[in-house]
Amino acid sequence: MERTLSIIKPDGVGKNIIGEVIKRFETNGIKIAAMKMIHLSKSQAQGFYAVHKERPFFDSLTDFMTSGPIVVMVLEGEDVIAKNRTLMGATNFKEAEEGTIRREYATDIEKNVVHGSDAPETAAFEIGYFFNELELHSR
C-alpha cells in the first residue's frame, strides 16, 4: 500500500470541480486517507515548492498557489503515486493524454488544476508538510 499527496489547486477549486476530481480517484480504486481545504500563505507555498526555488516560474507559481483556497488530500492504494500521475496527465495540458484531468480542465502550464507527488520520497515530505499521523486514516 502506497500513499501520495494530491492538491486541487486554486484554479480547480475556482472551477468548482472538487467533486469531479475526487470522483476520478474513487472510481479508479483510490482511497482518500485525509483531506482538508486550506489557503496557503506565500511562505507556506514557497516551503512546499522549495525544490523549484531556482526555477524562473517559482515566484509566479507560489503567487498562483496562494491566490485562493486549495484542497489537499492524501491518497492511498497500490501504486497510487503512478496511478495519480496517470489520472492527472502531463504538466503541460497540451501534452496531456486525452481524458486526463489536466487535458480536460487545465488552461495554462501553471494553472493545471492538480498536483501529485512524483516519487515515494517527495510523497513522504509533502504528506508531512500538511498532515500529522493522527490525521491519516487507512481504510
User: Which residues are CB-contacts of 18 (< 8 A; sequence separation ≥ 6)?
Assistant: 8, 12, 71
The reply on whether position 15 binds ligand GDP by CB under 6 A is no
Nearer to ligand GDP, 43 or 138 (CB): 43
Identified binder of ligand GDP from the candidate list 66, 112, 130, 131, rule CB under 6 A? 112
Say whether 115 is catalytic: yes
Which of 37, 50, 53, 60 contacts ligand GDP by CB under 6 A? 60
Binds ligand GDP by CB under 6 A, chosen from 32, 110, 124, 125: 110
| DSSP secondary structure, the chain, as one string | -EEEEEEE-HHHHHTT-HHHHHHHHHHTTPEEEEEEEE---HHHHHHHTGGGTTSTTHHHHHHHHTSS-EEEEEEEETTHHHHHHHHH--SSGGGSPTTSHHHHH--SSS--SEEE--SHHHHHHHHHHH--GGG----
Select 99 or 137, whichever has its Cβ closest to ligand GDP: 99
Answer for which of 44, 118, 124, 125 binds ligand GDP (CB under 6 A) is: 118
Q: Does residue 40 touch ligand GDP according to CB under 6 A?
A: no
Q: Which is nearer to ligand GDP, 34 or 70 (CB)?
A: 70
Single out the segment in contact with ligand GDP by CB under 6 A; choices: 29-37, 76-84, 112-120, 123-131.
112-120
Q: Of 96, 84, 58, 72, which is closest to residue 9 (Cα–Cα)?
A: 72
Binding residues for ligand GDP, rule: CB under 6 A, are 57, 60-61, 91, 109-110, 112, 115, 118
